[in-house]
Amino acid sequence: MEGRCYGQESQNSSAKWSPPENYKKRVAAFEAKQKKLQGQQKADGKPFSQDGSRYRGLSKEDRAIAERLEKLREERKPKSIPSQAEIEARLAALKEDYHGPVPSTQEMEDRLAVLQGRDPPSQAPRPIHQPPDTRGLLQQTDDLLTQLAEEVSIDEHYCSGVQPRAVSGQNLNDLSRESEDCVSHANLDPKQLEEEKNKLLAEAAAELREENTRQEKILQVAKRLAVLRGQDPEKVTLETYKLPDSDEELDEEEAIQRVLKQLTEEAALDEASGFNILPDQTTQSGFSQQNLHKKTKQESQTPTAIALADSDDSEEHELPWCCICNEDATLRCHGCSGDLYCQRCFREGHTEFDMEDHHTSRYRLSCK
């Protein structure tokens, strides 16, 4: 009875704890696959590696990728890790190398200059110190004259020293003429030298006088034209006009004609634009006033007359000075809504902004 019971219980327990059939099939298929791989490796002559367990269940492509990754990891691993003693020995050797002399700043600058293709600063010449000249203009002139006198005396002494050689030598080239000139000047009497000096001074004074006379004539003509144009003649200078250079060697008459031509052209332009209305013409004869009233009545239909009539109505409420500089007004511009200007402000403002075609009239301060 006991043997039967034990056999029945053992059969029941094995059936109860037995794995499912699918699991058994999967295990059998895996074992068959492993055997197949082992057979292929044996046929190729390659032993089965211990790391083959890592690649179990992988396809050929996946296994090739895994092997490549493993090789890369092995290549990155250091071949030999230095010990603590080796590291200390290397540091000691590096410290011993630095016990030599440290190059100075000058040596490093020289090396850098050589590498850049420049001269070393240590070999370059030092700049010469030149103190500032504190002499006055008069003292500088005196020193220059003294220097010139000393140079002349040296030249005279040299010429007197070469006189015997110049006389005795016969096979000299054309350069001997200079020595002959020096000898002739050295043999002159003091009176002759004084006369020659006075002659040179007189010629220089005459040239200077002619230059001043020419400039004075040009300035007089410019001032006269400024008076005709209604400008202040005291403000006219030679810097306003371009004078001919001395290198051109122009005659005085030609220079004056050039300036007169320039001034005439400017006056013609001003007259055409209405700039040359004189401020000092404040009084006129009764006949001219009557003619002016007649002309005004005849031209009462023109825009200028209408603007004049409007400006007369507003004269009672306007201030009698220039709208720019507050000087006494001499002109009324009908193109600028009847604004009052002086001669200078009207010319500068209208020329700068190209408004030279504006009509103007002379402004008088009404006595009421």
How confident is the chain (368 residues) per 10-residue block, as mean pLDDT? 58 65 87 82 56 73 88 81 88 76 86 90 80 86 89 79 46 49 58 83 83 78 76 74 51 72 72 54 43 45 47 61 84 86 86 79 73
Beta bridge partners, 360, equal: 333
Residues 212, 266 within the same domain: yes
Nearest to 366 by CA among 317, 323, 327, 322: 317
Q: Using a CB cutoff of 8 Å and minimum separation of 24, what contacts does 335-339 make?
A: 335/359, 338/307, 338/310, 338/311, 338/314
Residues 269, 309 within the same domain: no
| Within-domain flag for 146 | no
3-state helix, strand, coil in the chain (%, to 5): 65, 5, 30
| Within-domain flag for 327 | yes
The token pair at 197 is: 């000096």
pLDDT of residue 199: 85
**Contact indicator for 356, 350 with CB cutoff of 8 Å:** yes
DSSP sequence for 21-71: HHHHHHHHHHHHHHHHHHHHHHHHTPPPPGGGGGGTT--HHHHHHHHHHHH
Count the domains in the chain: 2
How many angstroms separate the Cα of 246 from the Cα of each of 203, 235, 236, 357?
16, 25, 22, 40
Q: State how far the Cα of 211 lies from the Cα of 243, in Å rounded to an integer.
A: 11
Strand 360-362 relative to strand 331-333, pairing = antiparallel
Q: State how far the Cα of 331 lies from the Cα of 362, in Å rounded to an integer.
A: 5
**Contact indicator for 296, 320 with CB cutoff of 8 Å:** no
Q: What is the pLDDT of residues 167-182, one digit of tens each?
A: 444 444 455 544 555 5
| Within-domain flag for 295 | no
pLDDT of residue 296: 46
H or E stretch covering 332: strand 331-333
pLDDT of residue 6: 58
CA dihedral 321, 322, 325, 327 (to 10 degrees): -40
**Contact indicator for 322, 329 with CB cutoff of 8 Å:** yes
DSSP 8-state code for residue 248: G
Q: State how far the Cα of 260 lies from the Cα of 252, in Å rounded to an integer.
A: 12
Residues 247, 209 within the same domain: yes
* Last residue in a domain, options 254, 273, 292: 273
Determine whether 275 is exposed, middle or buried from the number of CB atoms within 10 Å of its CB (0-12, 13-18, 19+): buried
| Within-domain flag for 131 | no
Q: Is residue 284 helix, strand or coil?
A: coil
pLDDT of residue 138: 87
Residues 216, 264 within the same domain: yes
| Within-domain flag for 157 | no
User: Which amino acid makes up residue 336?
Assistant: C
How many angstroms separate the Cα of 62 from the Cα of each of 6, 50, 217, 303, 305?
51, 18, 111, 104, 108
pLDDT of residue 328: 85
Strand 331-333 relative to strand 339-341, pairing = antiparallel
Q: What is the pLDDT of residues 273-301, one digit of tens each?
A: 655 555 444 444 444 444 444 444 444 44
Q: What is the pTM of this model?
A: 0.20
* Last residue in a domain, options 273, 288, 317: 273
Determine whether 120 is exposed, middle or buried from the number of CB atoms within 10 Å of its CB (0-12, 13-18, 19+): middle
Domain that holds residue 226: 205-273
* Last residue in a domain, options 273, 292, 319: 273
Residues 254, 310 within the same domain: no
Buried (b) or exposed (e) across 182-192, using 16+ Cβ within 10 A?
A: beeeeeeeeee
- Sorted by sequence, the CB contacts under 8 Å of residue 182 that are 6+ apart come out as 155, 156, 158, 159, 160, 162
- Sorted by sequence, the CB contacts under 8 Å of residue 110 that are 6+ apart come out as 120, 121, 122, 123
